[in-house]
Amino acid sequence: MSSSTIPVWLDCDPGHDDVFAILLAAHHPSLNLLGISTVHGNSSLANTTANAGSVLEAIGRPDIPVYPGSKKPFSRAAVHAPDIHGHSGLDGTDLLPKASRPPVLDTNPILAMRNALLAQSPNTAWLVATGTLTNIGLLFATFPEVAGHIKGLSIMGGAVGEGFTDVPMSRLPGEESRVGNTTPWAEFNIYCDPEASQSIFSNPILCPKTTLIALDLTHQVLATVPIQERVLKTSTSQASTASELRRMLYELLVFFANTYHSTFGMEGPPLHDPLAVAVVISNLNSDYEQAYPDKVLKFDDRNGGVLPCKL
């Protein structure tokens, strides 16, 4: 891999929108995806691990290793989201292939993350988390030296509300004041393991390196019907039928769109997770840091709510 690429480790819980985060991380020419760790969240750890392997197979990157991580939060029972992602975590298509490469079971996933990140030059590697933060919390609690070594931590999670943007979290009657997508205040990834989340957001070394992609942003990035159709077949394609990969991605988007519409009344589901990967290849993080050097992330006492605050 070229020395000009950005090394990235992806921790995820696939999950329909995780599919597009994996696709972006695995194929963007500016990124070097070092590995994937899976975590409980959208579905069970067994399902999210199988889903990650299947997605890598489907997109032609079975060379990327998958490490099964935590099957439950720090101190509470696991919570899943079958109402959004189905019982498998990736309901809606039968086109997902079986992974040709099994997950890595003979290496501790937290140690694998640590070794991969510390093997990179200082201040170059990014850690991207698009699921529950249990693995990430364990990483920095077990190996605190990683926090000072990495370039950044990008998290899809949390919600700000309180006029931060004018984007509604739900379009259903009576939910105009909703901030979260799991409770009126809480976003799912933070809600699932608030203790792990708190350990990350209270880490003084991580705070200035962390970018939080909250619902207030992701609900502005909707995979509307025209976008779904572009995924199925580009306007410039000369093929009479879409490829199996395009059909698979389209079917996943349609399922995700239907569950989001029934749950939140939205036309087109938000593609939350790819935005956390996009941070790594954009100027968003450095621009924000320069504009607001005194702002960090703080865990709020409303379970799962995260607010920016001054030190």
pLDDT tens, 163-187?
A: 777 777 777 777 777 888 888 889 9
User: Does position 30 have pLDDT exceeding 60, yes or no?
Assistant: yes
User: Does position 111 have pLDDT exceeding 90, yes or no?
Assistant: yes
- Count how many Cα atoms sit within 13 Å of the Cα of residue 233 in the half-sphere of its side chain: 8
Supply the CATH classification number for the domain 6-222+271-310.
Answer: 3.90.245.10
Are 60 and 99 within 8 A, CB to CB?
no
For 78, 147, 206, 249, 257, the CA distances from 284, given in Å and listed in that order, are 32, 20, 17, 27, 27
Known catalytic residue: 149?
A: no
Please state the domain extents for the chain.
Answer: 6-222+271-310
Highest mean pLDDT among 108-117, 172-181, 274-283, 287-296: 108-117
Q: What percentage of the chain has pLDDT greater than the value 90?
A: 74
Instruction: Identify which of 109, 4, 256 has the alpha carbon closest to the alpha carbon of residue 117.
Output: 109
Which helix (H) or strand (E) covers residue 1, if one does? Answer: none
131-156: pLDDT as tens digits: 999 999 999 999 999 999 999 999 99
